[in-house]
Amino acid sequence: MNKTWQFILHKLQDRKEKGSLRKLSTALYPIDFCSNDYLGFARSTLLQQHITDTLSQIEHVPIGSGGSRLLSGNHFYTEETENFIAQFHGAESGLIFNSGYDANVGLISSLAQRGDTIISDELIHASLIDGARLTHANRYSFKHNNIEALEAKLKIATGNIYVLVESVYSMDGDLAPLQEISACCKKYEANLIVDEAHALGVFGPYGKGRIQELGLEKEVFARVVTFGKALGCHGAIVLGEAPLKEYLVNYARSFIYTTAAPLHNIVSINCAYQLLASADHTPWLQQTIMQYSNALKSAGYRGLTSKSTIQTIRYQSNTTAKNAAASLQQKGFDIRAIVSPTVPIGTERLRICLHIYNTEEEINALIQSLVLLK
Ligand SMILES: Cc1ncc(COP(=O)(O)O)c(C=O)c1O
């Protein structure tokens, strides 16, 4: 066996021994507490019909886009969609990327140069970390949601400064203190970049996100909003001022060197945003979150509850978290364990996602099953 295969097999064996080997699964569990389809858009027949009708009105819809946006992959419908979404979010402009991962990597890696500084919350998403890793900038992380720790890094920062946070953290569901973070960034003339992946559809009027809920549109340098979660589609948009969009078109490699999303995907995104703008779904969702929190509390469960759709039950090891998930899956609940190295060792957890379509009976049955696992 050559050295490369020895390396690969050793790395896999290491994961097996730590109980952290990732595996693809097609198993289906009927009660969804796992997907990020918070508003049920991915399963909405109303939305599906709207998409089909809209597509039928467009003269020629090719299967694929045929090239990158800068070559043959652009379409007036994509530009219209970008303008519509930017307007919905009170931003000057928006640029669609093929995924949230691409958006974060392209945005961060194109902006920060040698001598600049990137300061990120220690729990930010891998895509923001990977974007930062691709730069030659100085990189610091600060203790989760801790303003003093952020300020300590801002004091030693050089060049253009970029501060990276999520408005709702994807693995814990807790919220960033955005007003304090924004004020701190302003004091040090740092550019605040906020990932709103798990805030869209959940917070703010009409689910516009936490930046709009808090009126911070003018305070942030850029927002990243993804379409694969509450919007039920796929892709993402970077929102900011018009020169930022032009800069990204010229320098963001994950935008430039990739085939544009097919038109039917852009139509789906546009129709989903129309559905989002047609009615405020957030009170309904907040009611589900409240039901879960109250039921968990009255069951006397020592669990963390958050104000978002992402809830966690902590375990102390990969094995205990995986066993808990397996036991719930046997009862029909689609719940997955999030294990290290995705989360730090000792903070392994069940990640429970709440949706507009989860019924009170489902929530109560889940809590009863969690109590039995204690
Ligand atoms: C906070 C956050 N940002 C970005 C992403 C990436 O988005 P996408 O799934 O569209 O690549 C995710 C999803 O995994 C996420 O949770």
- Quick one: tokens of 30? 């009927």
d(CA 367, CA 374): 11
For residue 303, the model assigns a pLDDT of 60
Cis omega before residue 177 (within 30°)? no
125 CA to centre of ligand 1 in angstroms: 7
Residues with CB under 6 Å of ligand 1 are 99-101, 104, 125, 127, 166, 170, 195, 197-198, 226, 228, 236
Q: Which residue has the tokens 């902006």?
A: 111
pLDDT in tens, 67-95: 999 999 999 999 999 999 999 999 999 99
Q: What is the 3-state secondary structure (H, E, C) of the chain?
A: CCHHHHHHHHHHHHHHHCCCCCCCCCCCCCEECCCCCCCCHHHCHHHHHHHHHHHHHCCCCCCCCCCCCCCCCCCHHHHHHHHHHHHHCCCCEEEEECCHHHHHHHHHHHHCCCCCEEEEECCCCHHHHHHHHCCCCEEEEECCCCHHHHHHHHHHCCCCEEEEEECECCCCCCECCHHHHHHHHHHCCCEEEEECCCCCCCCCHHHCCHHHHCCCCCCCCEEEEECCCCCCCCCEEEEECHHHHHHHHHHCHHHHCCCCCCHHHHHHHHHHHHHHHHCCCHHHHHHHHHHHHHHHHHCCCCCECCCCCEEEEECCCHHHHHHHHHHHHHCCEECEEECCCCCCCCCCEEEEECCCCCCHHHHHHHHHHHHHHC
Q: Which atom of ligand 1 is nearest to the CA of 236?
A: 10
Contact in structure between 312 and 304 (CB atoms under 8 Å): yes
d(CA 64, CA 316): 46
For residue 27, the model assigns a pLDDT of 85
Give the pLDDT of the chain (374 residues) as one tens digit per residue. Answer: 899 999 999 999 999 999 899 999 988 899 999 999 999 999 999 999 999 999 999 988 999 999 999 999 999 999 999 999 999 999 999 999 999 999 999 999 999 999 999 999 999 999 999 999 999 999 999 999 999 999 999 999 999 999 999 999 999 999 999 999 999 999 999 999 999 999 999 999 999 999 999 999 999 999 999 999 999 999 999 999 999 999 999 999 999 999 999 999 999 999 999 999 999 999 999 999 999 999 999 888 766 789 999 999 998 899 999 999 999 999 999 999 999 998 999 999 999 999 999 999 999 999 999 988 87
Match domain 281-373 to its CATH number in 3.30.930.10, 3.40.190.10, 3.90.550.10, 3.90.1150.10.
3.90.1150.10
For residue 300, the model assigns a pLDDT of 86
Q: Which atom of ligand 1 is nearest to the CA of 101?
A: 11
Q: Which atom of ligand 1 is nearest to the CA of 124?
A: 1
Which is nearest to 117 in space by CA: 72, 78, 150? 150
Ligand 1 binding pocket mutation candidate from 170, 196, 224, 338 (most atoms within 8 A of CB): 170
Contact in structure between 313 and 352 (CB atoms under 8 Å): yes
173 CA to centre of ligand 1 in angstroms: 13
Q: Which residue has the tokens 């294990």?
A: 339
Ligand 1 binding pocket mutation candidate from 167, 169, 200, 226 (most atoms within 8 A of CB): 226
100 CA to centre of ligand 1 in angstroms: 5
200 CA to centre of ligand 1 in angstroms: 12
Ligand 1 binding pocket mutation candidate from 99, 101, 254 (most atoms within 8 A of CB): 101
How far apart, in Å, do the first and last CA atoms of the chain sit? 46
pLDDT in tens, 311-334: 999 988 999 999 999 999 999 999
- Domain borders along the chain are 46-278, 281-373
Contact in structure between 207 and 275 (CB atoms under 8 Å): no
d(CA 38, CA 288): 10
Ligand 1 binding pocket mutation candidate from 38, 125, 129, 225 (most atoms within 8 A of CB): 125
Architecture of domain 46-278: 3-Layer(aba) Sandwich (3.40)
